[in-house]
Amino acid sequence: MTNNRIVDHPVLGRLADRKEITFTFDGTEYTGYEGDTVASALLAHGIRTLRVHEESKRPRSIYCNIGHCYECRVMVDDARGVRACLTPIKEGMVVSSGKGLPNPLDASIPPEELPRTYQEYEEQSKEGKGDTDA
Amino acid sequence: MILMHDVVIIGSGPAGLSAAIACRENDLDVVVLDEFPKAGGRLLGQLHQEPTGEWWNGVKETEKLLERANMLDTDIRLEVSVYHVEKVDDTFNIFTNKGTLEAKNILIATGAAESAAPIPGWTLPGVMSIGAAQVMTNVHRVKVGEKGIVVGVNVLSAAIAREMQLAGIDLHSMALPAANVITGDGSNPIKVMDGLARIAHLAPSKFIQFGSRFARASAFVRNTAVKFFPPGGVKMWGMPVHIRKAVTAIHGEEKVESVTICKVTTDGDPIPGTEEEVEVDFVCIAGGLYPLAELAAVMGVPFKYIEELGGHVPVHNEQMETDVEGLYVAGNITGIESAKVAGAQGTVAGYSIAKHALQDHSLEENITNAMEQVKTVRANASIQFHPKIDQGRARVAQAFEVNAINSDK
Ligand SMILES: Cc1cc2nc3c(=O)[nH]c(=O)nc-3n(C[C@H](O)[C@H](O)[C@H](O)COP(=O)(O)OP(=O)(O)OC[C@H]3O[C@@H](n4cnc5c(N)ncnc54)[C@H](O)[C@@H]3O)c2cc1C
Ligand code: FES
């Protein structure tokens, strides 16, 4: 697990031994070190994708790594929308990736058939149209 | 009942910590808040070689500040995000994710943020800001990837590219972002060259030496240099730096797999037919820094746009006071400069707050000395983000005077 760690550094010196901490991400167990954030511990394991975009479901990762951009939103224990880059890992922490949301405006529906009212949306949903797999 | 503090300091970077130290030396009741899990702000990740050859090691510098702050029993609370500030009568209410605090004075020392330089594909995992790579590399000690490219050529990206090399991370090259409505001057080779000439006196390197030849040259000579910029780039520590090539797109399915680079004219327009694809697994975008000042805006502090300081800054005087009584600013929120300047400004703010809180005019002398120190540090700074800092600073001070005169009328 240390292959992405910068252990030896010509100026900063050798990485000090730190306490190991175990947490889970989307059900899989990972080990990081004391002082790691959720984002750094996962990247050390080569995991970049922290969430998918709510609408497009495209994968997203950290962008700024210092709390400014909110690109790294994950669920930590019961809290949603938590910034992975600011959250230190803790023993037994349960982290899950940010998920997509149902999107009534499924790209496969031709524009002229898109629902114009909420009622039409509900009718189309009953017919199984639209994208509901969050 | 909520406890009333003498001062709440928002931000534990060099500015916030230095201010806290000055306040604690005067025995004020101080609370420092920061949302990052470690104190030190952006100082933590910094690592560059001074022209003297000495290393500026942000981790060590932070330790020094923290040691002094801890010796003075400073209350520093981490993982606390401030999302709103209000002033009711003479009391500031500071709203955080961990409850509300009350204070008679506040210092906003929230630092800087990175400007975006969006290019197609920039939302793919593996694309990050240059500062993100700095924090991963030097603070968390995690490699951001195997082979990357830096998009955006400026003082910060040059410094951080070097930091990645030191950590054994392979960089293909540095190049400009493709021109679009947002990337602006960062995509213009002539403007970029002007910027490089200004950092020529910084850390020793082949690239910088290249820049220094043009530092005092006329605009004509510099433009000629841009025109005849070597097609293979100029090597900096073995890595090619291109100012006549731009990254036009980032590709990949689930994460970054490659980028498209093409040659650009001296104005930054892509030259069709020159595109090449380069395999990388990460991309760092460097769009420059701007003052992170929302909390001052929410408080109704007047702002002024000052190009030399990196954008809109809250109007303040040399004592770091604003128009709102009891509200002070220090560090990069007042303009983009090096960490040493931010720290020196923090000391000024700390003494100003102590003078106000204690009504102790004997502190005038400390304030004056600290203000002198800011000027000395600024004049000797080995990293400078913008030219004409002094003129920019003078314009802010002038704006403060004008506001003061107007409100007296
Ligand atoms: C990504 C990045 C990289 C940089 N790298 C360099 C470099 O290599 N060399 C150099 O000379 N300069 C660098 N700088 C410039 C840097 O801003 C200064 O050197 C210096 O750190 C500024 O000090 P400061 O105290 O004003 O702010 P900072 O050091 O930025 O500290 C501000 C602190 O405030 C906290 N904060 C902000 N908003 C809130 C909020 N709402 N609630 C709670 N806490 C908050 C932040 O978490 C941060 O810790 C960099 C800036 C950035 C943004
Ligand atoms: S990566 Fe920007 S907020 Fe976490």
- Averaged pLDDT, A78-105: 93
Q: Is B291 in the pocket of ligand 1 (CB under 6 A)?
A: no
Q: What is the pLDDT of residue B193?
A: 85
Tell me which chain B residues have a C-beta less than 8 angstroms from the C-beta of A66: 36, 42, 131-132, 135
Q: Given an 8 Å threshold on Cβ–Cβ distance, is B136 in contact with A40?
A: yes
Q: Is B17 in the pocket of ligand 1 (CB under 6 A)?
A: no
Q: What is the pLDDT of residues B349-385, one digit of tens each?
A: 999 999 999 999 999 999 999 999 999 999 988 778 8
Note whether B109 and B35 are within 8 A (CB).
no
Per-window interface: B 244-263 vs A, CB < 8 A: 254-255
Say how many C-beta atoms besides its own lie within 10 A of residue A8's C-beta: 11
Q: What is the pLDDT of residue B202?
A: 57
Q: Given an 8 Å threshold on Cβ–Cβ distance, is A58 in contact with B123?
A: yes
Q: Given an 8 Å threshold on Cβ–Cβ distance, is A59 in contact with B255?
A: yes
Q: Is A65 in the pocket of ligand 2 (CB under 6 A)?
A: yes
Q: Given an 8 Å threshold on Cβ–Cβ distance, is B138 in contact with A59?
A: no
Give the rounded percent of residues in chain A with a pLDDT score beyond 70. 93
Note whether A54 and A37 are within 8 A (CB).
no
Dihedral of CA B305/B307/B312/B314: which sign? Answer: negative
Residues 6+ positions from B270 with CB-CB distance below 8 Å: B178, B179, B246, B248, B262, B263, B264
- Averaged pLDDT, B371-400: 92
Q: Using 50, 70 and 90 to split pLDDT, how confident is the model at A133?
A: low
Residue B182 token pair: 């947002």
Q: Can you name the residues that pair with B33 across neighbouring β-strands?
A: B10, B77
Q: Is the pLDDT of residue A134 over 80?
A: no
- Averaged pLDDT, A113-117: 85
Q: Of B37, B124, B132, which has the smallest distance from its Cβ to A64's Cβ?
A: B132
For residue A13, the distance in angstroms to the closest alpha carbon of chain B comes to 10
Q: Using 50, 70 and 90 to split pLDDT, how confident is the model at B42?
A: very high
- Averaged pLDDT, B166-193: 92
For chain B, residues classed under CATH 3.50.50.60 are: 4-113+290-408, 116-287
Distance between CA atoms of residues B356 and A123, nearest Å: 66
Q: Is the pLDDT of residue B216 over 70?
A: no
Distance between CA atoms of residues A122 and A101, nearest Å: 16
Q: Given an 8 Å threshold on Cβ–Cβ distance, is B140 in contact with A40?
A: yes
User: Is CATH 3.50.50.60 correct for B4-113+290-408?
Assistant: yes
* Atom nearest to A86 CA in ligand 2: 4
Note whether A5 and A44 are within 8 A (CB).
yes
For chain A, residues classed under CATH 3.10.20.440 are: 8-97
Note whether A108 and A130 are within 8 A (CB).
no
Q: Is the pLDDT of residue B205 over 70?
A: no
Question: What is the ipTM score, two decimals?
Answer: 0.94
Q: What is the pLDDT of residues A32-56, one digit of tens each?
A: 999 999 999 999 999 999 999 998 8
Distance between CA atoms of residues B283 and B187, nearest Å: 16
For residue B273, CA distances in Å to B249, B270, B341 come to 15, 9, 46
State the CATH class of domain B116-287: alpha beta
Q: What is the pLDDT of residue A1?
A: 46
Which residue type is seen at A5?
R
Q: What is the pLDDT of residues B302-352, one digit of tens each?
A: 999 999 999 999 999 999 999 999 999 999 999 999 999 999 999 999 999
For domain A8-97, which architecture applies?
Roll (3.10)
- Averaged pLDDT, A85-101: 96
Q: What is the pLDDT of residue A132?
A: 53
Residue B89 token pair: 């009568």
Q: What is the pLDDT of residue B204?
A: 45
Q: Is the pTM of this model over 0.80?
A: yes
Q: Is the pLDDT of residue A14 over 70?
A: yes
- Residue among B108, B116, B109 nearest B132 (CA): B116
Note whether B254 and A59 are within 8 A (CB).
yes
Q: Is the pLDDT of residue B152 over 80?
A: yes
Q: Is the pLDDT of residue B271 over 80?
A: yes
Question: What are the percentages of helix, strand and coil residues in chain B, rounded to 5?
Answer: 40, 25, 35
Give the rounded percent of residues in chain B with a pLDDT score beyond 70. 95
Q: What is the pLDDT of residue B273?
A: 96
Find the ligand nearest to B130 CA: 1
Per-window interface: B 83-142 vs A, CB < 8 A: 113-114, 123-129, 131-133, 135-138, 140-142
